[in-house]
Amino acid sequence: MEDKKVIFSGVQPTGCITLGNYLGALKNWVELQNDYNCLFSVVDLHSITVRQDPVQLRKRCVDFLIQYLACGIDGESNIVYFQSHVPQHAELSWILNCYTYLGELSRMTQFKDKSAKHENNINAGLFTYPVLMASDILLYQTDLVPVGHDQLQHLELTRDIAIRFNHIYGDTFKVPEPYVVKSGAKRIMSLQNPTSKMSKSDPNENGYISILDTPDAILRKIKRAVTDSGSTIKFEEGRDGINNLISIYSAVTDKSVSEVEAEFDSKGYGDFKLAVAEAVIEHLRPVRERYEDLKKNKDYIEKIYSEGAQRAAYIAQKTLSKVHRRIGYVDRKYIKK
């Protein structure tokens, strides 16, 4: 890899990439590709903290990776791979478990939230999930990690673990920093509950737009989007629904909020919603078309993730070998046949 700063991003293959994911994160990541060494991992090891249908998980993992590529992630200049294809993730996770305190893990708010949602399956993996996340990041001597607010606590733990290990054994891990998206990036909210972030886990499918939604589905969802009792297209405090639609239109057209307000100065909600829907449809059209083309090219997709895993494993093993030496493991000797 060239001498650039390293960015690692891991995303669970949970369904689809939403318009919110795309505008809030993926579009920014695409712009980072020329300036950073980027690793994009489909983190399937994390997925099994919740019971999965094996057939569906396998299909969803591949589909999610294809969506990454369709959004503009370059699978050849970046490293794009499945987490389970690089066993160093799991091995380092066990080692770092031994340098993580029980009290630290018990304070993780996501464990509490997920335990409440999965009361019949509160497993050890759910509890130690943040240590695996730390391993994902530290394996690659990562400089920057794009994280949302809900993952900041996990990144802080990653930093604590790295600092603790380095203090005991000397400089081993780079201590990562959060990557803050560029100023002005849009936070896209639910179409049905505009005080909450747009999420693929929303029980109401009208609350989110998938990047793979058909034009008819996008039009229907935006027409049903919650607004308020007003009639003017103005970005104002307390008007969460219309503010969200203005943010979406602004993001997909690259127009400022003031430009959007001026464009629809004398228009009503009906005209505005139609314009938002048409703009979103056109913005996502090349993504959908690229996705359909990639789905037909199984050999290319397999090449991307198999070569990605080989490249990731090479980097990961260098870190893991250093860790082994630091903690006192006997050097591995493999007999050549």
Active-site positions? 114, 197, 200
Region of residue 279 (left: phi > 0; alpha: psi -120 to 50; beta: else): alpha
Structure tokens at 314: 């090479």
**Of 220, 206, 199, which Cα lies nearest the Cα of 16?**
199
On the CB side of 28, how many CA atoms lie within 13 Å of its CA?
Answer: 20
For the purposes of burial, counting CB atoms within 10 Å of the CB of 98, is it exposed (0-12), middle (13-18) or buried (19 or more)? Answer: exposed
Cβ of 257: how many Cβ atoms within 10 Å? 15
Query: For residues 287 and 59, is the Cβ–Cβ distance under 8 A?
Result: no
The full DSSP string for 239-264 is -HHHHHHHHHHHHHHT--HHHHHHHT
Place of tokens 């430009």: 259
Structure tokens at 307: 């070569």
Query: For residues 41 and 145, is the Cβ–Cβ distance under 8 A?
Result: no
Contacts with 191 (C-beta within 8 Å, 6 or more apart), sequence order? 198, 206, 207, 208, 209, 221, 222, 224, 225, 226, 244
Query: For residues 273 and 219, is the Cβ–Cβ distance under 8 A?
Result: no
Residue 29 CA to residue 72 CA, distance in Å, equals 9
For CA atoms 254, 258, 260, 262, give the dihedral sign.
negative
Alpha helices in 4-43 (DSSP H): 19-21, 27-32
